[in-house]
Every structure is written in C-alpha cells, then in structure tokens.
Amino acid sequence: MKRVYFDYQAGSPVDSRVFEAMTPYFGIMFGNPSSTHGLGQEAKTAIEDARMKVASLIGARKKEEIIFTSGATESNNLALIGTAQRNKEKGDGIVTSTIEHISILNICKYLARQGFKVKHVPVDSYGLVDPTSVEKTISEKTILVSIMHANGEIGTIEPIAEIGRIAHAHGAAFHVDAVAAAGKIPVDVVGDKIDLLSLSSNDLYGPKGVGALYVNEGTRMAPILIGGGQERGLRSGTENVPAIIGMGRAAEIAAQEMGDESARLARLRDRLHAGIAKEIPYSYLNGHPAARLPNNLSMRFSYIEGESLVLSLDMEGIAVSSGSACSSKTLEPSHVLRAIGLAHQEAHGSLLFSLGRWNSDDDVDQVLSVLPSIVGRLRRMSPLTPKDLQV
C-alpha cells in the first residue's frame, strides 16, 4: 500500500539536502563553538553562517538578531515570558487573539496567573483578526501584542502589517508566531515592523529540536534559560550545532524555492478541494478562501467526526489529522474552530490536510478515490445523518 502523507503541519521528514549538510557535524565536525581550539572555531563559523541564512529568509538586517532555540514552543516562551518579565515596570498588558497556537494561549494563562492582564481579540468566521479590534483593546499599559502570521489549522493569513503599526503606535512590542507561515509565504520583519518572530526548523523541512526567535536589536528581553550565556545571553546551553546547521540549510532552500513550491502546493491543494467539494455533499471549507496558506486545506463534513475519518484514512495508508497535533491528546474540539464560530459537532467534524514538499498529484488522486466512500460509510453509520444521505 502506498503511504500518503497530508499531515505536514504535525511533522515533516528532513530534506535530504538538509540532512547532508548536518551529517558532518554529528561526526568529525563535533566541536563546541565556545572552545578556543580550531575544532571549536570551525563550529562557531558554521553556526554564524546558519544564522545569516535564517536572517535572510525573514528579511532581518543583522544575523545577530537571530537567537537559536530548541523549537517553536521555546521561541514562543522566550518571546512572551522574556518580554513580560523584562518590561513589567513599563506595563502589564498583553494583547493576543483567540486562535493562537496552544503554546501562546497556555503561556498567556501562565502570565495571567503572574498578574499580567491578557486580552484576547476575537476573529471573524474566516479566522481573521480585525485590526480595529486590536486598536480598541490596546492601551498605554500594553507591553506586548502577539498575533500569528498565519494559522496552521485553518490556513488564514492575518493582516500583521496593520496590527504591527497599531502595536508600535502604542509603544508595545510586536510578536509574530510565523511557524506555519515561514517558507510558505514571504515574511518581512523589517517591512512589517515585527520585533519578535518565532520560527520552527521542522516546518521548513529541517530537523526537529531546533527553532529560532528573531529579536529586533532594540527589543528589551530577559532570558528564560540561564547558564553559560550563549546566544548573546538570551539562550544559554551548548549550541545544538548539527541541528542549527540543518535549520540554516533548510531556510536557504526555503528562500530559494518558495515561489515555485508554494504555487505547486496551492495547485494540488485546489485540486483536492475541488474534488472533495464535487464528490462529497455537505462538506465545507474552514478558514479564509483567499487569504490562506498555499499548503492548507481544512474541511468539515456534516454528521461525522474528524477523528473517525483520521482512523479510516489511516487504514488506507493516508495520514491526516483532525486539527493540531498538539491538541490531539484532549477530546476537546479545536479552540481555533470554536473561535471561528463553529458549533461543537462542526468542529469535531473537521479534517486538516496540510501539504508539503513531497506531495504529488498521485496523493491527491488517492485521497479523492477513497474519501467519498469513507464519508458515505461513516454517515450511514451515524444516527445524526438525514435520511436522504443514508443511501
């Protein structure tokens, strides 16, 4: 059975070009960048080259503005907790949205317990944050605005340039979670006036266990991991050299290939969408129809549960998810789908296809060849299904 993978949002293999770049650093190039001997200095040079490549992908002016972390979750923790701790004399307000990644939402809960005032602006039925809502919610006590670049579950791209302008007009720092967006759509930290931006390596087809936080040089931050003072004192711990080299190469490839690759993925995604819409009645798109990531297709199917679809497709060798992998442990419906106004059962009936570098037309064909009959079978088994769909 051919395996089909449409769950790139949960995880991705490492590109073989990336793996090739990393490999020497597991073996002969194993130096510690803090060592003064030659082997250490070679590692240091390689890390600075990777830093430059990541800076280049997001339009940062200086490579020193890139801080390597252990991944997106740590980047988000450093951005929010580090900013809050360092600026608490200035104010206690944090503005974010209702559809941020679960790490942002949980960090905000933690900060609220520490006494910070966190306000969540709502989104419309497409998942769009209205900049006017941010304008109404922000105050002179706001120290940080955190809005994602694009949502990984429903694909919607946020108007971050406008939100950044509002944040700065009120003297707040602007954090953008660009984990789902980077490498798929252009990211421009200078043009969009972004102070802090979170990146994940694996979402760029680089290795797991490494990420980055862009920290604009004027931004006041405290570290959250304390130790030997690596990464300009903002992230202690011996540098994860092979993974950092891998992330650098992954960022370089993403920058070179994004134009063609995003067009290719959008075409596959649109074929998948059109095929599902044509063959499966009562199926609906989640998220914005136009302002969306090229690799994202979130659909809901009336009368059935997404998790049953995931398991049925898994038996056909097709890997998809019913939402964010991070939330799969709970039986709660996705907070993102709830935030765009879906009822409990609608949210539960959603399926996320996240496309990536190794998907092909064959993969789309395979899904289209089995999904309609799976949906039909599950609907026949469901007591909720109206009579006319039971045939």
Structure token digits, residue 380: 């026949």
Nearest to 58 by CA among 190, 158, 168, 216: 190
> Shortest gap between Cβ of 71 and its own copies (angstroms)?
5
* Pairwise CA distance, residues 176 & 19, whole Å: 28
Size of the site for its own copies (CB under 8 A): 71
Is residue 7 involved in binding its own copies (CB under 8 A)?
Answer: yes
For residues 222-261, which are near its own copies according to CB under 8 A? 224-230, 236-243
Beta strands (DSSP E) in the chain are 4-5, 66-69, 93-97, 117-121, 142-146, 173-177, 196-200, 211-215, 283-286, 296-301, 318-319, 350-354
Q: Residue 119 and residue 112: Cα distance in Å, rounded? A: 10
Q: In the bound complex, what is the minimum distance in angstroms from residue 351's beta carbon to its own copies? A: 12
CB atoms within 10 A of CB 127: 29
- Provide the minimum distance between the beta carbon of 253 and its own copies in the complex, in angstroms, as a whole number: 15
Q: Is 275 in the site for its own copies (CB under 8 A)?
A: no
Decide: is 112 part of the binding site for its own copies (CB under 8 A). Answer: no
Q: How far is the CB of 363 from its own copies (least distance, A)?
A: 14
Q: Cβ distance 293 to 150 under 8 Å?
A: yes
Q: What is the distance between the terminal CA atoms of the chain, rounded to a whole angstrom?
A: 29
Between 52 and 319, whose beta carbon lies closer to its own copies?
Answer: 319
Other CB atoms within a 10 A radius of the CB of residue 72 amount to 25
Question: Binding of its own copies at residue 48 (CB under 8 A)?
Answer: no
Under rule CB under 8 A, residue 352 binds its own copies: no
Q: Please, which residue, 73 or 302, has the CB nearer to its own copies?
A: 73
Alpha helices in 138-240 (DSSP H): 160-169
350 binds its own copies (CB under 8 A): no
- Residue 310 binds its own copies, judged by CB under 8 A: yes
- Does residue 326 have an active-site annotation? yes
The HSE-up count of residue 375 (CA atoms within 13 Å, CB side) is 23
13 lies in the site for its own copies, by CB under 8 A: yes
The single residue of 52, 102, 326, 368 carrying the catalytic annotation is 326
Determine the interface stretch with its own copies among 56-64, 206-214, 265-273, 335-343 (rule: CB under 8 A): 206-214
- Can you tell me which of 2, 218, 260, 329 binds its own copies, judged by CB under 8 A? 329
> Nearest-CA neighbor of 7 among 384, 306, 354, 364?
354
Among the residue ranges 22-30, 159-167, 291-299, 346-354, the one whose residues contact its own copies (CB under 8 A): 22-30
Residue type, 45: T
Member of 50, 107, 272, 293 binding its own copies (CB under 8 A): 107
Query: Which of residues 131, 207, 248, 294 is near its own copies by CB under 8 A?
Result: 207
As annotated, the active-site residues are: 326
